[in-house]
């Protein structure tokens, strides 16, 4: 590589010095690029905190949306988000985990299985708004659920289905084969092997993946706009058929208004949303640790 070799420990040649300089500049550039990403995160959080903290108080959580920014709150949106979160988990979790178990433990290794697998990978890359269109056409119109919580929750369920399936498959795959062999060797049926050994061992990974997917659902806006969730709701939902709003949608509604006061309340709403997401991630970590201790 280098033209003139210098004796070890001697004065490096001009060429070697240049190579080293390039190396240092490159290393610093790479480090700086990484820091830009981190810095962007810090600036973003600082921006939201600066605008939102003055309005981040109890009244924010207990007030409904209002035409008057000083009286506006996230009560309906927070309730809607929690409804959506619970229902989406209820719909998406069992189906996704069952699908993952089928693909890892039951499916024959043939072309159909590969096709299903490829399809799931592609679904994970479909823009969320396209799921909204499916929800609009199928749940809102064809099934007649109208602009209801259940239409929203079903739409988000199919949105996060591939995400949970992929995470669950990884968790199931990580269970050592020796455990399956041991259980089969004792005369366990396939389902006994899966339910008594494989699933318990894979559960921490499955739960972590599920909660991360649910965090995505909680942050989604566009598909819910498509299925007709609205930005102005002055009551908390009481049933599956009620109209609803969620935090990101409420925030979007406030951002779209020109008054600076609404920008502040939007920032405060973002703080509520980020707190909810942080709580979910903390729950994921706690759950995982607890499961691991039980072993």
Partner 1 sequence: MPVIHDIESGGGAPALEAKHVSVHYGSKVAVSDVSLVVPANQVVALIGPSGCGKSTLLRCFNRMNDLVGGARVEGAVEFRGKNLYDPDVDPVEVRRRIGMVFQKPNPFPKSIYENTAFGPRINGFRGDMDERVETSLRQAALWDEVHDRLGDSAYALSGGQQQRLCIARTLAVKPEIVLMDEPASALDPIATQRIEELIYELKKDYTIVIVTHNMQQAARISDYTAFLYMGELIEYGPTETIFTNPREQRTEDYVTGRFG
Partner 2 sequence: MSSPGTDDLSFKRARNVKEQVIGSFLFLSAAVSTLVTVGIVAVLFTETVAFFRAVSPVDFFTGTEWTPLFQNPRFGVLPLLSGSFLVAAGAAVVAIPLGLLSAIFLSEYSGPRLRGVLKPLLEILAGIPTVVYGYFALTFITPLLRTVLPETDVFNAASAALVVGIMIVPTVSSLSDDALRAVPKALRQGAYGLGATKFEVSTRVVVPAALSGILASFILGISRAIGETMAVTIAAGNMPNLTLNGLESIQTMTAYIVQASLGDTPHGSIGYQTLFAVGMTLFVITLAMNVLSQWVMARFREEYQ
293 contacts partner 1 (rule: CB under 8 A)? no
Site for partner 1 in 79-118 (CB under 8 A): 108-109
82 contacts partner 2 (rule: CB under 8 A)? no
**Which residue lies nearer to partner 1 by CB, 197 or 263?**
197
49 contacts partner 2 (rule: CB under 8 A)? no
Partner whose binding site includes residue 251, from partner 1, partner 2, none (CB under 5 to 8 Å by kind): partner 2
Q: How far is CA 98 from the centre of its chain?
A: 20
- In a 13 Å sphere around the CA of 36, the CA atoms on its Cβ side amount to 6
Stretch that binds partner 2, among 6-14, 58-66, 171-179, 189-197 (CB under 8 A): 189-197
175 dihedral zone (left: phi>0; alpha: psi -120 to 50; beta)? beta
For the CB of residue 238, give the shortest distance to partner 2 in the complex, in Å.
25
186 contacts partner 1 (rule: CB under 8 A)? yes
What SS3 class is residue 246? Answer: coil
122 contacts partner 2 (rule: CB under 8 A)? yes
Cβ distance 160 to 257 under 8 Å? no
27 contacts partner 2 (rule: CB under 8 A)? yes
Task: Find the binder of partner 2 among 49, 95, 188, 240 (CB under 8 A).
Answer: 95
The dihedral formed by the CA atoms of 30, 35, 38 and 40, expressed in degrees to the nearest 10: -100
Partner whose binding site includes residue 101, from partner 1, partner 2, none (CB under 5 to 8 Å by kind): partner 2
Tokens of 53: 């903290």
Q: Of 170, 176, 156, 172, give the one whose Cα is nearest residue 249.
A: 156
Question: At residue 144, what are phi and psi to the nearest 5 degrees?
Answer: 70, 25
Cβ distance 80 to 231 under 8 Å? no
181 contacts partner 1 (rule: CB under 8 A)? yes
For the CB of residue 294, give the shortest distance to partner 2 in the complex, in Å.
25
Task: Please work out, in degrees rounded to the nearest 5, the angle formed at the alpha carbon of residue 49 by the alpha carbons of 45 and 55.
Answer: 150
176 contacts partner 1 (rule: CB under 8 A)? yes
Stretch that binds partner 2, among 137-145, 171-179, 180-188, 284-292 (CB under 8 A): 137-145
Residues in touch with partner 1 (CB under 8 A): 108-109, 176, 178-189, 192, 196-197, 201, 295
């Amino acid at each position: 590589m280098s033209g003139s070799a210098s004796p070890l420990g001697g004065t490096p040649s001009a060429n070697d010095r240049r190579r080293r300089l390039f190396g240092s500049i490159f290393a610093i550039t790479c480090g700086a690029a990484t820091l830009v990403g981190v810095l962007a995160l810090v600036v973003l959080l600082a921006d939201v905190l600066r605008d939102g903290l003055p309005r981040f108080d109890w009244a924010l959580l207990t007030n409904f949306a209002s035409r008057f920014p000083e009286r506006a709150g996230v009560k309906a949106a927070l309730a809607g988000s929690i409804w959506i979160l619970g229902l989406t988990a209820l719909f998406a979790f069992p189906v996704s985990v069952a699908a993952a178990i089928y693909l890892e433990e039951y499916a024959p290794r043939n072309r159909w299985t590969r096709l299903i697998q490829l399809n799931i990978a592609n679904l994970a890359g479909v823009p969320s708004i396209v799921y909204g269109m499916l929800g609009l056409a199928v749940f809102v119109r064809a099934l007649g659920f109208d602009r209801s919580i259940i239409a929203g929750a079903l739409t988000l369920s199919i949105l996060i289905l591939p995400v949970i399936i992929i995470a669950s498959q990884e968790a199931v795959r990580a269970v050592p084969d020796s455990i399956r062999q041991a259980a089969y060797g004792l005369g366990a049926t396939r389902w006994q092997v899966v339910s008594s050994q494989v699933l318990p061992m894979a559960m921490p990974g499955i739960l972590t993946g599920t909660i991360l997917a649910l965090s995505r659902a909680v942050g989604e806006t566009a598909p819910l706009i498509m299925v007709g969730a609205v930005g102005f709701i002055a009551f908390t939902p009481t049933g599956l058929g009620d109209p609803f709003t969620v935090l990101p949608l409420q925030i979007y509604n406030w951002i779209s208004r020109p008054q600076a006061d609404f920008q502040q309340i939007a920032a405060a709403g973002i703080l509520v949303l980020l707190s909810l997401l942080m709580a979910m991630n903390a729950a994921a970590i706690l759950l995982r640790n607890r499961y691991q201790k039980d072993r």
